Amino acid sequence: MSVEAILKTKGSNVFTIRPEHSVADAAALMSAKKVGVAVVCDAKGTVVGVVSERDIVSGITQFGKGVVDMPVRNIMTSPVLTCGPGDSVKRIMEIMTERRIRHLPVVDGGDLLGMVSIGDAVNFRLREAQMETAVLRDIAVTR
Ligand SMILES: NC(=O)C1=CN([C@@H]2O[C@H](COP(=O)(O)OP(=O)(O)OC[C@H]3O[C@@H](n4cnc5c(N)ncnc54)[C@H](O)[C@@H]3O)[C@@H](O)[C@H]2O)C=CC1
Ligand SMILES: O=c1[nH]c(=O)c2[nH+]cn([C@@H]3O[C@H](COP(=O)(O)O)[C@@H](O)[C@H]3O)c2[nH]1
């Protein structure tokens, strides 16, 4: 099953921020939306970076408390590794594990189609396993 199946369930809305906005703005967005990452897009809507809770923690260590007034571009990860809608859920789990990242923007032909997180992938695999168990139980009952 592919990333597209996850997006069908959770939708394609992505919370984004501009690179010139402050780290405090990014923190406020993540807090308000209850997410761990914001995708950084330029004025044309092109993905230019990613800023996660972990980048803010690292930023505080590197720059001190004043990091909150710095622009997001100073602490974001760039360039950004992304995934495509046709990638398998297994593949994105491998990428997240190998690269130690918990979020991947979904991009196709330069268009930002959605966001998948480690929790989305776990939830998807959990529901798949539950469905498999239910099917096996039905087979056992009807025999
Ligand atoms: N029951 C469910 O369907 C889900 C449960 N969770 C749980 O929530 C907790 C935190 O989840 P995590 O995956 O660590 O990350 P998270 O807290 O950043 O993500 C939570 C949800 O917000 C979405 N999201 C994150 N950043 C976004 C952005 N910038 N724009 C749009 N959507 C964005 C993710 O795709 C995910 O669906 C975990 O305990 C996880 O297991 C997470 C996803 C789905
Ligand atoms: O190239 C990337 N593509 C991504 O989709 C992505 N998501 C998170 N990160 C970076 O990884 C580190 C940990 O982020 P998480 O809080 O998402 O685990 C932090 O440094 C994040 O900036 C990404 N880098």
Report the separation in Å between the CA atom of 141 and the middle of ligand 1, taken as the mean of its atom positions: 36
With a 6 Å cutoff on the Cβ, whether 104 touches ligand 2 is: yes
User: For a pLDDT cut of 90, what percent of the chain falls above it?
Assistant: 88
Q: Where are the alpha helices (DSSP H) in the chain?
A: 3-10, 23-33, 53-63, 89-99, 118-142
- Minimum-distance ligand to the CA of 59? 2
Q: What pLDDT, in 10s, does the model give residues 31-76?
A: 999 999 999 999 999 999 999 999 999 999 999 999 999 999 999 9
Whole-number Cα distances in Å, 92 to 44, 83, 128, 141: 27, 7, 16, 35
| Total number of domains constituting the chain | 1
ipTM value: 0.97
- In single-letter form, the type of residue at position 35 comes to V
Q: Which residues line ligand 1 (CB under 6 A)?
A: 10, 13-15, 35-39, 102-103, 115-120, 122-123
CATH number of the CATH domain containing 92: 3.10.580.10
Whole-number Cα distances in Å, 99 to 6, 8, 55, 102, 104: 21, 25, 15, 9, 11
Domain that holds residue 26: 3-142
Looking at the predicted structure, is the pLDDT value of residue 7 above 90?
yes
- Minimum-distance ligand to the CA of 37? 1
Q: What pLDDT score was predicted for residue 143? A: 75
- In single-letter form, the type of residue at position 37 comes to V
Report the separation in Å between the CA atom of 140 and the middle of ligand 2, taken as the mean of its atom positions: 44
- 35 CA closest ligand 1 atom index: 18
